[in-house]
Amino acid sequence: MPITHRGTVRRTAAVLALASLAALLPAGAGAAATARPSSLQRDADALVADGVTGVSVRLESPQGVRAVRSGLAELGTGRPVPRDEYVRIGSTTKTFVATVLLQLVGAGRLSLDDTVDRWLPGLVRGHGNDGRRITVRQLLQHTSGLPDYVEDVVPDLSAAGYRRNRWTTYSSEQRVAFALRHRPSFAPGTGWTYSNTNYVLLGMVIRAVTGRSWEWEVRARIVRPLRLTHTLAPGDRPFLPGPHAHDYQQFEPGGPMTDTTIAYLPFDGDADGALISTAADTNRFFRALLGGELLAPAQLAEMRRTVRTPPGHGDPPGARDGLGLDWTPLSCGGGYWGHSGDGFGYLAWPATTADGRTALTVSLHSRPGDEATAVRQIRDVTDLVDHALCASR
C-alpha cells in the first residue's frame, strides 16, 4: 500500500472491502426511502456503495447551504455520520500555513526568493540536500527536491504498527533529520514532487520570522479574524472533539478494518497536516482566501501561479499546483481551487470556485488497502465535486 500524505498516505490508502455495507446503513443515513434523493446525495451514497464507511458533504453557494451525509458514524452501531462533525483535514493545513507565509511576504517580513538557509542557517544539509540552494517559493510549491520524511515515521505499515507507533512524537527538527537521510529527488527548481518536509520547514520559517509558532500565527491571522470557532491545532493531543465519526484504515487489500480515529502523531502533528476543522469552517476559510479577504492581490496572484503536477502523483488529470493551493479542471469549463488532506482512515477534499462564491468540502471516514479501490474512490470524489460545482452555476 503506497504512502503519500497529500493528501492521497500521500498519507496512505485505507479501509474496508465492504460488500455488505449497504445492508448496514441506518434508515435516513443514505438516500431517503420516500423521496428521490438529490444528485449530491446520490453521489455521497455512491461513495458508500464503493466501500467508504462514512461520508459527509457541505456545499455553500449564493443559493444557500446544502449538506448531505451517508454511511455510518461507527461500524456496528447503526448511527449515521453526525451533522457538523469535526474532522481531521490533514494536508489542507498546508493552505493555512501558506497563507500565513504570504501575509508575511506582503508585510515585507521575508521574500519568496529567500533561501531556507537565510532563516534556518545550517539546518538543511546532508546527502546532497542544501538549504543554501532552496527558496521559500520552492518549499511552498514542492519544487525543492527535498525527500519526504513520512515513510521514515511509519516503520511498520500494519494495524499493529499503527497501534504501537501512534503515540510517538517528533519535533520538527527530528522530522527534517529523517528526510535528510535521503538524497534529493532532483536539484532545486528542476522538478516537482510532493514532500511534507517542505511544510515542516515552512512552519519553522514562520517561527524564525515572527518569534511565534505556526499554530499561533494561524490562530491570530486566520482562525480568529474569520471566527473559525471549530478549527484547532491540537498539538500532541490525539483525540477528535465531538461530534465526530470514526475513521477506519484497511492496511492490506481485503484485510480487516482498523479504527484509526486516534491520530497517528508521527505525521499528524506538524505544519504539514495537524489541523482539525469542520466542513463549515473549511468552506469559510477557502471562500475568504479566494475572495481576497486574507491576502493582498499580489500575494493571492503568487499563490495561484501554478506548475503542472506530473502523472503518477495521485492528482486528477490536468491538476496544477500553486503555493499551498491546487487547481483542478471542471468538465463544464474552468476549474476549482483547494488542497486535499488525508491520513490513516480519513480524506478531506475542499473545492472552491475562483471567485470564492461557491465552496464544497467532502469528508471520507475510511481509506482502502488496495490502490485500485483508492483510485476509484478518488474518482468518485472528483465526480461529486464536478457535478456539484457545475450544477451550482
Q: Spot the catalytic one: 56, 61, 70, 91.
A: 91
Report whether 15 contacts 368 (CB < 8 A). yes
Q: Which residue has the cell 447551504?
A: 65
Handedness of CA 181, 205, 338, 192 (dihedral sign): negative
Task: Give the whole-angstrom CA distance, residue 292 versus residue 321.
Answer: 19
91 given a catalytic annotation: yes
Alpha carbon separation from 310 to 95, 147, 195, 374 (Å, rounded)? 20, 17, 14, 19
Can you list the pairs that 35-42 forms with residues at least 24 positions away whose Cβ atoms lie under 8 Å? 38/66, 38/68, 39/387, 39/388, 39/391, 40/66, 40/68, 40/384, 40/387, 40/388, 41/68, 41/70
Write out the E strands in the chain. Answer: 54-61, 64-71, 87-88, 125-126, 129-130, 248-250, 257-259, 276-277, 307-308, 320-321, 326-329, 335-338, 341-343, 346-353, 359-364, 366-367
Side-chain half-sphere CA neighbours of 339 within 13 A: 30
What is the amino acid identity at position 282? T
User: Which residues are catalytic, by number?
Assistant: 91
